[in-house]
Chain A
Amino acid sequence: MIPAEGTAAPRPPSDEASSDVAGSGITGRDVAGSGVTGRDVARPGITGRDVAGLLFAAEMYGVQLDQLAAVLRVSESRARAIAARWRRQRYAESARLGPGAPWLWLTRAGLASCGLPYTCAPPALSRLAHIRAVAAVRLALESASGYRAAGAYWRSERRLRARLGGRVGLRDHLPDGEVHWPDAAPVAWAGECWAVEAELTRKTVSRTAAIMGELLSRTGDYGCAAADAAVPGRPPRHARVLYLCSPAARPTVIRAREALGSAAARVEIRALPPGAAMEPAVRPAAGQQAARQPSTGQPSTGQPSTGQPSSGQPGTAR
């Protein structure tokens, strides 16, 4: 259950709209995690793997087919076939929106099947690079053994925005995702909630520091009463903020963290994972790719990457 607004360590919101997929009694996390087969799902023609992919695409606004292949743990050609089947079933639409693999997003019927109250829309062109980067961050994090062992939960920006119900204030900043660590998880940071930010483009140091400060000082859940959003003295909502940066944005983020003072200890900075960029500027060496795969546990997406956004990609929102 979600703890009361303003609690220190929010749990995975299992009572939210998508927790029970189409009334099947199977939560998205169960499906995405492990152990659910197609037989468990009542809807004809839809397997547990399909549910995991549909939920991923819905939560992330949309997904490129190479990343969808990673989610479904299949090859890219198989992912194309699955996407074609979803299109036939009117659960999803796909199109080549930008560089790289085609994009897939859920239709209104697909969102309704998943029980998600989101507005149906294709991913915005200006946000394609950012959406891809965040999806790559989620995939990389979910592939880590500690994440799987803890049964952590990714709460997407789209879900946070839906909780706000269109009431995003001028200075409200939504993280690109939240990671909720269950209380009983076998990790030292069990019970914590992390905010995740993917930074592709460089902002000003003051703006970045302000965002960090807001994330670190927030005490209430998104969508809570304004009076509970940041109450001095209450435990913060986000125990840490995890920044995944492109090489261009990294210096700014580091300087912003230094400006926070002692709160900087709660900000973790890492490079964006391979495959986060829309279109690679340079193909990496085969050895580098091969060396990366075993550690992340990600299947080959067929998309070489450098972790650096290409210059020709559409504008990024962040």
Chain B
Amino acid sequence: MISRYVSLLAVRSAARGALRLIRLAAAAALIVAAAPVSLVAAGSATAAWLRGWPPGRLYRAAAGCLPMVVVWLAATAVATRSWRSVAAAPYLAWLAMWHHAAAGSYPDAAAIIAPAAVPLGLLAGGLAWSYRIRSMETGSGGLSPGSAVAFDWRQWRHQVRSARAMIAAPGSLPLTTQNGAVVAGAVIRAIGHQAGRVAEIPYPRMRSHQVVIGTTGTGKTTLLLRLWAGFMATALRRHAAGLGHPPLLVVLDCKGGADARRIADRARRVLRGAGARATAIWPDEASLSLWTLPPRQLTTTLLDLIEHGTGAAAYYADVMEAVVALAVDAPCGPPAGAADFLARLDPGWLNLAYAAGRNDSDLALVRSAARQFGDIALRFRTLFRRLGGGLDGPGGFGDADAWYCILEGTAEISVAEGQARALVDLLASYAAGPDGSGQAREILLAVDEFSAVSRRLPIWQLYERARSLGLAVQVSAQSWQGLAADDDERYRIAASADGGIWLLRTPYPEPVTGLAGTRKLVDTTRRLLGVPIWGHQGTSRIASAPVADPALIRSLDVGQVAYIYRGGVTFIQVKRLIGGPAALAAPARATAPQPGLAAHGQLPQGPPAGREPDVSEPDDGEPDVSEPDVSELLDEAFGAEAGP
């Protein structure tokens, strides 16, 4: 009995072995018979593995070969005038290929079979590569327990290498696309987003709130400059086409110091390349006027700029509010500057101002607060001295396409907080301006190094009403903790970022990656037959995994960023923008048109839409032909030119 059972087992094993051999032989025969298809499939799958391509790219390549197939079949139909010949064309080509190969004419053989073999090979390669990726993702593939991890890490390296090669190629990545999307860089990997080679951010997302988090030295400034330039270029193009209002970019660099000024200069050059006519650098080169605020808003802002205590100090806060309101709402109109305002913090001035209007209640208020006037004036005099003249000069946000405001948040935190508060109030007032001037701008407020001023700048309040003002807010910080003072505000800011969250390398990405959510995937367990070989038996189950892997975020290299949006994440290698100096174009020629220039009276073709502004050698304007001599005319009008 036992011997019979053993024999049965032996027969079953032999049969299984034979069946397996037959399968292998059949597969080998099929591979050999379809050698051209097999070769293309193997080559394409290997290329996809080496470059980290998704299978979809091979499918698209196969689809791209279809015109070749159509032309081939059409040529066959025309030559043979028989539909049967067309139907049999692949088989006949296969036969002819083997005949030519047998005769040693390999190029002819390849040419004959290529129209059929290339698309089929690409399709087969894509399917094989897809199967491989899926089996490794689910844990059902690989020879050892660490195979899936090693495969994923190796693929990441390959994808990064491809993305870096793409951004290094000149002209491969424009600043914007034809449809106005901002190109951030080359895609490394996409999960939950459409996989493409170029990371395109649609313009409406640039008009929504965004958050950028990344530690120093991870490429945050490079990313921000690219986003700002893309916003400016697209908005200007839309405005020129009559599709939108002119843009206004306001950057609050809350770090300050020499580094901020270097970045400001870089931003100005980059923005100029993107089309911005004027970039004002505050307070170094331009000023704004706090006194253009509406009186009620001016009173509130002035009071908010001064820190008040609690408890008994609340009494003095009330007195101060009353005095400031009297000074601002004086019958002669609001103050025109800091000196004017300080001059009004005097009982004599206020008595005189309100006496004419017989405002008895106001005069009584002045008399009752007379003893505090000196202290209040002292506090405001100190405040204005610390704030500097940047908020006291002429000018408004409407004077330039972009404002780069430098706040000394590292050296003087309290001053930076006050300045940030005043600037945001000014911008909000401009955006909601009674004359409608601000509402006719598409405004992007970017607050860089927000942690320096987050204590007193309630930006989430601005977040919530910004939409109605046509104002988008982009907040950047070095860490999750730097976004706001407490978790409640941090989550408010991050959850309102409907334009997406940009996450660079940071040591604590979990709260943000948690916002990206989870995805379902198949988790497979397999039996371990021996070290380190796995068996093919096991179980699979549906499990949840984070869309944005925190471990991957922590290991991001410089210039790599994870863009989290709507439950998906795209890892991007950011393309650096380099701003050039303003170029002097070559002079026009009326009498001697230069070759290559358009005919007189016609515009030469400008740069293509979304052309990279990081251009280029500045043209020094050197004429190719000599200038016409105008000295006779000028001598007649103004006399001869003399030396200095």
Point out the residue from A9, A217, A266 that lies within 8 Å of B590, measured CB to CB: A9
Complex interface: chain B residues within 8 A of A192 (CB): 588, 590
Given A217-B583, A234-B603, A265-B627, A170 and B636 contact (CB-CB distance below 8 Å)? no
Q: How far is the CA of A91 from the CA of B602 in the complex (A)?
A: 41
Given A7-B603, A235-B588, A140 and B277 contact (CB-CB distance below 8 Å)? no
Complex interface: chain A residues within 8 A of B9 (CB): none
Complex interface: chain A residues within 8 A of B634 (CB): 242, 268, 270
Is the CB–CB distance between A170 and B280 below 8 Å? yes
- B309 located at the interface, meaning its Cβ lies under 8 Å from any Cβ of chain A in the complex: no
Is the CB–CB distance between A233 and B604 below 8 Å? yes
Q: What distance in Å separates the Cβ of A212 from its nearest Cβ neighbour in chain B?
A: 10
Complex interface: chain B residues within 8 A of A261 (CB): 620
- A117 located at the interface, meaning its Cβ lies under 8 Å from any Cβ of chain B in the complex: no
- B275 located at the interface, meaning its Cβ lies under 8 Å from any Cβ of chain A in the complex: yes
Tell me the A245-280 residues at the B interface (CB within 8 Å).
250-251, 254-255, 261-263, 265-266, 268-273
Q: What distance in Å separates the Cβ of A222 from its nearest Cβ neighbour in chain B?
A: 11
Tell me the A181-215 residues at the B interface (CB within 8 Å).
181, 183, 187-192, 213-214
Q: What distance in Å separates the Cβ of A37 from its nearest Cβ neighbour in chain B?
A: 27
Is the CB–CB distance between B607 and A213 below 8 Å? no
Point out the residue from A4, A141, A226 that lies within 8 Å of B603, measured CB to CB: A4
Is the CB–CB distance between A244 and B638 below 8 Å? yes
- B641 located at the interface, meaning its Cβ lies under 8 Å from any Cβ of chain A in the complex: yes
Q: Please choose the segment from A20-28, A96-104, A143-151 that sits at the chain B interface, where 4 or more of its residues have CB less than 8 A away.
A: A143-151
Is the CB–CB distance between A188 and B587 below 8 Å? no
- A284 located at the interface, meaning its Cβ lies under 8 Å from any Cβ of chain B in the complex: no
Is the CB–CB distance between A172 and B278 below 8 Å? yes
Is the CB–CB distance between B607 and A217 below 8 Å? no
Complex interface: chain B residues within 8 A of A6 (CB): 603, 606
Can you name the residue of chain B whose Cβ is closest to the Cβ of A227? B275
Point out the residue from A183, A228, A240 that lies within 8 Å of B600, measured CB to CB: A183
- A8 located at the interface, meaning its Cβ lies under 8 Å from any Cβ of chain B in the complex: yes
The digit string for A83-111, where 1 denotes a CB below 8 A from any CB of B, is 00000000000000000000000000000
Complex interface: chain A residues within 8 A of B590 (CB): 9, 181, 183, 189-192
Is the CB–CB distance between A231 and B606 below 8 Å? yes
Tell me the A129-184 residues at the B interface (CB within 8 Å).
137, 140-141, 143-147, 167-172, 181, 183
Is the CB–CB distance between A266 and B587 below 8 Å? yes
- A295 located at the interface, meaning its Cβ lies under 8 Å from any Cβ of chain B in the complex: yes
Can you name the residue of chain B whose Cβ is closest to the Cβ of A298? B637
The digit string for B618-641, where 1 denotes a CB below 8 A from any CB of A, is 111111000111101110111101
Q: What distance in Å separates the Cβ of B269 from its nearest Cβ neighbour in chain A?
A: 12
Is the CB–CB distance between A146 and B636 below 8 Å? yes
- B236 located at the interface, meaning its Cβ lies under 8 Å from any Cβ of chain A in the complex: yes
Q: How far is the CA of A234 from the CA of B401 in the complex (A)?
A: 21
Q: What distance in Å separates the Cβ of B399 from its nearest Cβ neighbour in chain A?
A: 5
Is the CB–CB distance between B240 and A225 below 8 Å? yes
Q: How far is the CA of A242 from the CA of B630 in the complex (A)?
A: 11
Interface size of B by CB at 8 A reads 59
- A3 located at the interface, meaning its Cβ lies under 8 Å from any Cβ of chain B in the complex: yes
Complex interface: chain A residues within 8 A of B278 (CB): 169-172, 226
Complex interface: chain A residues within 8 A of B585 (CB): 217, 219, 231-236
Is the CB–CB distance between A144 and B636 below 8 Å? yes
- Among A3, A192, A232, A242, the most chain B Cβ lie within 10 Å of the Cβ of A232
Point out the residue from A7, A147, A170 that lies within 8 Å of B637, measured CB to CB: A147
Complex interface: chain B residues within 8 A of A240 (CB): 587, 627, 630
Is the CB–CB distance between A144 and B637 below 8 Å? yes
- B597 located at the interface, meaning its Cβ lies under 8 Å from any Cβ of chain A in the complex: yes
- A55 located at the interface, meaning its Cβ lies under 8 Å from any Cβ of chain B in the complex: no
Q: How far is the CA of A269 from the CA of B634 in the complex (A)?
A: 9
Is the CB–CB distance between A143 and B277 below 8 Å? no
- B286 located at the interface, meaning its Cβ lies under 8 Å from any Cβ of chain A in the complex: yes
Can you name the residue of chain B whose Cβ is closest to the Cβ of A252? B644
Point out the residue from A3, A137, A188, A227 that lies within 8 Å of B237, measured CB to CB: A227
- A72 located at the interface, meaning its Cβ lies under 8 Å from any Cβ of chain B in the complex: no
Q: How far is the CA of A289 from the CA of B496 in the complex (A)?
A: 75
Is the CB–CB distance between A296 and B637 below 8 Å? yes
Is the CB–CB distance between B638 and A169 below 8 Å? no
Is the CB–CB distance between B276 and A9 below 8 Å? no
- A216 located at the interface, meaning its Cβ lies under 8 Å from any Cβ of chain B in the complex: yes
Is the CB–CB distance between A296 and B636 below 8 Å? yes
Tell me the B584-598 residues at the A interface (CB within 8 Å).
584-591, 597
Can you name the residue of chain A whose Cβ is closest to the Cβ of B275? A227
Q: What distance in Å separates the Cβ of B637 from its nearest Cβ neighbour in chain A?
A: 4
Given A190-B590, A232-B619, A240-B627, A143 and B637 contact (CB-CB distance below 8 Å)? yes
- B357 located at the interface, meaning its Cβ lies under 8 Å from any Cβ of chain A in the complex: no
Complex interface: chain A residues within 8 A of B584 (CB): 213, 216-217, 236, 263
Is the CB–CB distance between A169 and B277 below 8 Å? yes
Q: What distance in Å separates the Cβ of A191 from its nearest Cβ neighbour in chain B?
A: 3
Point out the residue from B239, B395, B587 that lies within 8 Å of A170, measured CB to CB: B395
Q: What distance in Å separates the Cβ of A226 from its nearest Cβ neighbour in chain B?
A: 4
Can you name the residue of chain B whose Cβ is closest to the Cβ of A225? B240
Q: What distance in Å separates the Cβ of B587 from its nearest Cβ neighbour in chain A?
A: 5
- B352 located at the interface, meaning its Cβ lies under 8 Å from any Cβ of chain A in the complex: no
Point out the residue from A189, A228, A236 that lies within 8 Å of B586, measured CB to CB: A236
Q: How far is the CA of A191 from the CA of B64 in the complex (A)?
A: 51
Complex interface: chain B residues within 8 A of A228 (CB): 240
Q: How far is the CA of A188 from the CA of B630 in the complex (A)?
A: 8
Q: How far is the CA of A240 from the CA of B584 in the complex (A)?
A: 12
- A68 located at the interface, meaning its Cβ lies under 8 Å from any Cβ of chain B in the complex: no
Is the CB–CB distance between A271 and B627 below 8 Å? no
- B15 located at the interface, meaning its Cβ lies under 8 Å from any Cβ of chain A in the complex: no
Q: How far is the CA of A219 from the CA of B584 in the complex (A)?
A: 9
Q: How far is the CA of A227 from the CA of B272 in the complex (A)?
A: 9
Complex interface: chain B residues within 8 A of A146 (CB): 632-633, 636
Q: What distance in Å separates the Cβ of B421 from its nearest Cβ neighbour in chain A?
A: 23
Q: How far is the CA of A272 from the CA of B590 in the complex (A)?
A: 28
- B54 located at the interface, meaning its Cβ lies under 8 Å from any Cβ of chain A in the complex: no
Given A169-B277, A170-B399, A147 and B588 contact (CB-CB distance below 8 Å)? no
Is the CB–CB distance between B620 and A140 below 8 Å? no
Is the CB–CB distance between A188 and B636 below 8 Å? no
- B246 located at the interface, meaning its Cβ lies under 8 Å from any Cβ of chain A in the complex: yes
Is the CB–CB distance between B615 and A232 below 8 Å? yes
- B170 located at the interface, meaning its Cβ lies under 8 Å from any Cβ of chain A in the complex: no
Complex interface: chain B residues within 8 A of A231 (CB): 585, 606-607
Complex interface: chain A residues within 8 A of B623 (CB): 262, 265-266
- A71 located at the interface, meaning its Cβ lies under 8 Å from any Cβ of chain B in the complex: no
Q: What distance in Å separates the Cβ of A165 from its nearest Cβ neighbour in chain B?
A: 11
Is the CB–CB distance between A227 and B638 below 8 Å? no
Is the CB–CB distance between A239 and B587 below 8 Å? yes
Tell me the B395-411 residues at the A interface (CB within 8 Å).
395, 398-401
Can you name the residue of chain A whose Cβ is closest to the Cβ of B274? A227
- B104 located at the interface, meaning its Cβ lies under 8 Å from any Cβ of chain A in the complex: no
Q: How far is the CA of A272 from the CA of B644 in the complex (A)?
A: 14
Can you name the residue of chain B whose Cβ is closest to the Cβ of A266? B587
- Among B622, B632, B637, the most chain A Cβ lie within 10 Å of the Cβ of B637
Q: What distance in Å separates the Cβ of A113 from its nearest Cβ neighbour in chain B?
A: 29
- Among B246, B276, B601, B638, the most chain A Cβ lie within 10 Å of the Cβ of B638
Tell me the B532-571 residues at the A interface (CB within 8 Å).
none
Can you name the residue of chain B whose Cβ is closest to the Cβ of A188? B628
Can you name the residue of chain A whose Cβ is closest to the Cβ of B582? A217
Is the CB–CB distance between A233 and B630 below 8 Å? no
Q: How far is the CA of A244 from the CA of B398 in the complex (A)?
A: 32
- Among B280, B619, B630, B632, the most chain A Cβ lie within 10 Å of the Cβ of B630
Can you name 20 A-B pairs with beta carbons within 8 Å? A6-B606, A9-B588, A146-B633, A171-B280, A183-B590, A183-B600, A213-B582, A217-B582, A226-B246, A226-B277, A227-B275, A231-B606, A232-B618, A236-B585, A262-B620, A262-B623, A263-B620, A263-B622, A265-B627, A266-B623
Residues of B within 8 A of A (CB): 233, 236-237, 239-240, 246, 272, 275-278, 280, 285-286, 395, 398-401, 582-591, 597, 600-604, 606-607, 615-616, 618-623, 627-630, 632-634, 636-639, 641-642, 644
- List the 4 closest A-B pairs by CB distance, nearest first: A8-B588, A191-B590, A169-B278, A227-B275
